[in-house]
Amino acid sequence: MKASTFVYPWDINGDPEAPGRIAALGVRQVTLAAAYHSTRALTPRHPRHRIVTAEHAAVLYPTDDRWQGRALRPYPAGDWAPGDAFGEAAAALTAAGLEVHTWVVLAHNSRLGAEHPDTSVVNAYGDRYPWAPCIAQPATRAYLVELAAEAAVRPGARGTELESLGWYGLEHLHAHDKTGGVPLGDAGMYLMALCFCPTCKEGYGAQGLDADELAAAVRAGLEPLWQGTVADEGWADVEKLLGESNAAATRAWRDETARTLQETAVRAVRQAAPDGFQILLHADPVTYHVGANPGVDPAHILSVADGVVVPCAGGPALLTPFAEQGREGAVIAANLGVVSGMGGSPGTLASDAARARELGATEIRLYHAGLASDGDLVAVREGLAAL
């Protein structure tokens, strides 16, 4: 069962022992960040630093001239990933015998939203989400597609994993996050993710909805949740809170918007990539879910991409809808946490991977070799050896 681990360039560059240490885990592949959002990351074994602060979303390589004259363009990294940080790390990992795939974060960019506020999702209350670009806006879609094509196909990479290629919502942990005081559940998170920018208002109109009336219905639907009602029945609660016809119309608009963006981005990557280049999407099989693993229709996405990376922090159940498609050759990778301090379970890696395989996983992803403690890495080596 092929295993890959996520890493950042700053885990590798400046630490000559890092590539060999990762190879010794028993993985055959690394998924190396090429375009990433802002973060503060631990580097527990690096000889020069222990904390890396990536101040804003950035590409971790030098961009080319395709961006000249464009208002929306990727930001270069600062001193946390100078120059061609991706290329330097990729070369070191390849020399250690590891296959390198790019890790590309797309519709998740707080600096873009701060500098170009009109690109952001706007909720029913008029609040902007600067970390969440609205994927319905033509200029934003063009930017995301071009970024996918450039960041995915880096020299030496054998494939890519595209994260956040879909709708984002409230869930992003923005700075010192203080949004967990009211349990909104799936339904509340969906309503809070509905966008009311001018483009989305037009989209709702094409579905037969009045955007202002819909926003009022969203606010009314959310009111019981602000008062303490618990909504934990998923889409059924969305229909109760918003009304079945309203709910169906919003989902039709958003599902089609996400599908067409995914198709266009994957097509752009294929056109830029060499033969045999693998394209995977981080994905959730529930289409109305939003975030880093946006909701997709399993049958559709497996007809577009070569496979998916599926979040399994809550267990492997989300693998099943993808496996049930029976698509020959499709990669269904179970994303397993192995950083115990972040809720991962490196000690149960072998059993977790075995269970994932029973439910249809063809590969596993390990989050995240650069962030894990020495003890976690020992457990990972033992778990992979047991597999």
Label residue 211 exposed, middle or buried (CB < 10 Å: 0-12, 13-18, 19+): middle
* 99, 29 Cβ separation under 8 angstroms: yes
Residue 198 lies in a domain: no
- What residues contact residue 68 under an 8 Å CB cut-off, 6+ apart? none
* 344, 338 Cβ separation under 8 angstroms: yes
CATH code, domain carrying 381: 3.20.20.80
d(CA 269, CA 289): 24
Write the Ramachandran bin of 199: left for phi over 0, alpha for psi from -120 to 50, otherwise beta.
alpha
Residue 194 lies in a domain: no
Residue 245 lies in a domain: no
Other Cβ atoms within 10 Å of 150 Cβ, number: 22
d(CA 2, CA 16): 25
Segments of the chain with pLDDT less than 70:
172-176, 178
Q: Tell me the per-residue pLDDT of 4-22, one tens digit each, with 9 for 90 and over.
A: 999 999 999 999 999 999 9
* 109, 30 Cβ separation under 8 angstroms: no
Q: Tell me the per-residue pLDDT of 15-72, one tens digit each, with 9 for 90 and over.
A: 999 999 999 999 999 999 999 999 999 999 999 999 999 999 999 999 999 999 999 9
Provide the 3-class DSSP secondary structure of residue 284. Answer: strand
Residue 222 lies in a domain: no
Other Cβ atoms within 10 Å of 126 Cβ, number: 8
Domain that holds residue 260: 2-179+255-386
Residue 336 has, within 13 A of its CA and on its CB side, a CA count of 29
pLDDT value of position 40: 93
d(CA 208, CA 185): 27
d(CA 125, CA 147): 30
Q: What is the DSSP string of 320-349?
A: HHHHTT--TT-EEEEEEE--GGGT--GGGH
**Backbone angles phi and psi of 131, in degrees to 5:** -80, -10
Label residue 39 exposed, middle or buried (CB < 10 Å: 0-12, 13-18, 19+): middle
d(CA 93, CA 194): 41
d(CA 33, CA 7): 7
Q: How many domains does the chain have?
A: 1
Residue 196 lies in a domain: no
pLDDT value of position 174: 62
Residue 224 lies in a domain: no
pTM of the model: 0.96
Task: Give start and end residues of each alpha helix (H) in the chain.
Answer: 9-12, 18-23, 85-95, 110-115, 138-152, 185-193, 198-206, 211-226, 235-242, 244-272, 298-304, 319-323, 349-358, 374-386
pLDDT value of position 175: 65
Write b or e for each residue in 278-297: b if 16 or more Cβ atoms lie within 10 A of its Cβ, otherwise e.
bbbbbbbbbbbbbbbbbbbb
| Selection from 166, 257, 167, 168 nearest residue 204 by Cα | 257
Residue 375 lies in a domain: yes
Residue 335 lies in a domain: yes
